[in-house]
Amino acid sequence: MEKLAHLIILLMLTFFIQVVAQQADNQMVINADLGKFTINKHIYGHFSEHLGHCIYEGFWVGENSPIPNTRGIRNDVVEALKKLQIPNLRWPGGCFADEYHWMDGIGPRENRPKMINTHWGGVTEDNSFGTHEFMDLCEQLGCEPYITGNLGSGSVEEMSKWVEYLNSDAVSPMTELRKKNGREKPWNVKYWAVGNENWGCGGNMTPEFYSDQYRRYATYCRNYGNNRLVRVACGPAGSDYRWTETIMKNIRPGQMNAIALHYYTVLEWHQKGAATQFSEQEYFTTIQRCLFMDELLEKHTTIMDRYDPEKRVALYVDEWGTWWDVEPGTNPGFLYQQNTLRDALVAAISLNIFNNYCERVQMANIAQTVNVLQAMILTKDDKMTVTPTYHVFEMYKVHQDATMLPLDLKCKNYEFEGNKIPAVSASASKDKTGAIHISLTNVDPKNSQEITCELRGAKVSKVTGRILTASALNVHNTFEKPDAIMPAEFKGASLSNQVLRVKLPAKSIVVLTVN
């Protein structure tokens, strides 16, 4: 009997030690009174290119379509995106931008010249969706337009006149042309990228050559009236730190307002893998490469700090997201892929990283909004469904323009075949009402994570939450089953004496509100 009692005590002690150890491995401190930087709402921006069915059949169906529309723009897509509080939309590319000549896309549609979209599928671009249609779309969405000018195959004059056409209210040929085409007042577009991926599809330039071209083009992108342009220079591809170094050295902060980084979470460029059928090895590698964004931002911002310690030049991550093989039976040049819980986890982790780097990162644009790559929305004829990634953006919109709260996180690892990565990703913010929002992900597909979080500098008494998860990593929404994965109420958090305890289920995304 005595031996049995000792055995029970030993088992209880072992269990207690395991619990304490687990808690010690998953601890977080949020400094609710030390927030200094705002999470710019533009970090939650989007990207739309003349690629596949993003513009045509995604946004644009034309006024004569039986699909409900407003001046040719799909009503269902607009309403879905408005629920995200979409802050900006980047257009017309992407690679397409550096072969796009904007004057082909104005005036009566029947008179607009046609062209071949040489980058994406070799299809005919009829230019029925141009500048006025895009600006109408942005006005319907209530978002800022972000326009990419043609530096690759265009001219300084062409881009200069585009800025004038959109922004000038003075007596000029461009002002008169805009009025002739039906728009009396200027739109006052603020965000302008001077070229896109000019190290690649935008001209295969060296950073030295691009720097010279940028300064020339940016000089003639004029301010009109009270509108002040935000001029964005082409930044690096992934870990091309030399490109960042050269741009920062050769272009003064007063000549550019931001530099644009592009990075995609890809398994291998020559063999990307399927969107919905993947192994745990592929999943682990995907999350591993997603987490590389943190290193990229650390190293690029370190270079920027050396040349611009006052942080006058922002870092925009204006193309990011997952990239898989296209869905079977679709045009390889249309980049149409499904979107699963795996993609949602990538989105959540990426947004956590951007939030935590918000002192320098002021905009990000996921690729792409509708029917292309890591889309928010998929459409087919009159049908529409939102993706798991859409739900992440809807859950995370609470961070827009909130104060980022610094946090310290110590967590367990997700281990696979001798490799390991942090199991938990997090960011936190305080909104204008004083409510604290905490976004958490558990990337471990098999094990839950119990987290103890100390809230310093805050007096709170209530916690509520929402969760996005599914029975498997490859669960996705279809037109037949549009609600296969969607947010639900989360009841796995408790609050006592300013200490928050959270049990994160495996492969889950949780957003908590504490007040």
Q: Which residues are catalytic?
A: 197, 319
* Residues 224 and 167 sit within 8 Å (Cβ to Cβ): yes
Enumerate residues 6+ apart whose C-beta is below 8 A from 446: 506
> Residue 492's closest CA among 432, 436, 435, 440?
440
Q: Are strands 144-149 and 88-91 parallel, antiparallel or unpaired?
A: parallel
How far apart CA 16 and CA 228 sit, in angstroms, is 61
Whole-angstrom Cα distance, residue 13 to residue 30? 30
- How do the residues of the chain divide into helix, strand and coil, expressed in percent and rounded to 5? 30, 25, 40
Residues 6+ apart with CB under 8 A from 510: 439, 440, 441, 465, 466, 467, 468, 490, 492, 493, 502, 504
Output the six-digit token pair for 278.
């993947």
CB atoms within 10 A of CB 476: 23
Half-sphere exposure of residue 417: CA atoms within 13 angstroms, side-chain side: 7
Please provide the distance, in angstroms rounded to a whole number, between the alpha carbons at the two ends of the chain: 51
- Per-residue CA distances from 224 to 89, 258, 455 (Å): 22, 20, 47
Strand spans (E) along 92-220: 115-116, 124-125, 144-149, 191-194
Beta pairing partners, 456: 31
Bridge partner residues of 33 (DSSP)? none
Distance between CA atoms of residues 70 and 381, nearest Å? 16
Q: What secondary structure does DSSP assign to 432-500, as a single string?
A: TTS-EEEEEEE--SS--EEEEEEEET-----EEEEEE--SSTT-B--SS-TTSS--EE---EEEETTEE
